[in-house]
Amino acid sequence: MLFMVEMTVRIPHSADPQAVDKLKADEKAFSQQLQREGKWRHLWRVVGQYANVSIFDVKDNDELHTLLTSLPLYPYMEMKVTPLAQHGSAIAQN
């Protein structure tokens, strides 16, 4: 199943900078692992924001939920999840 996930990160200014750097490094490693596995198909930065739009290809809602809540930055994220379906006029198939 394909899902579009819009993520906005809001880390408090009072957070320890070293802890934040560690979270960001862990997030990058985990996201790249999921990309190599084919579960995180697209990752796009939203210009001018600490945000992204991503496309996930997972088995079901539960797998997506488990994956998203496992992200190291999850406690600081606001997310909007949209299930996707193939469009009848699309030339390319997912």
Architecture of the domain defined by 2-84? 2-Layer Sandwich (3.30)
Residue 20 has pLDDT above 70, yes or no: yes
pLDDT value of position 94: 58
At 27-37, the pLDDT tens digits run 999 999 999 99
Q: How far apart are CA 3 and CA 68, in angstroms?
A: 12
Read off φ and ψ for residue 92, nearest 5 degrees.
Answer: -85, 140
Number of residues assigned to the chain? 94
Task: Please state the domain extents for the chain.
Answer: 2-84
**39-80, pLDDT tens digit by residue?**
999 999 999 999 999 999 999 999 999 999 999 999 999 999
Q: What's the whole-number mean pLDDT along residues 12-35?
A: 97
pLDDT value, residue 92: 77
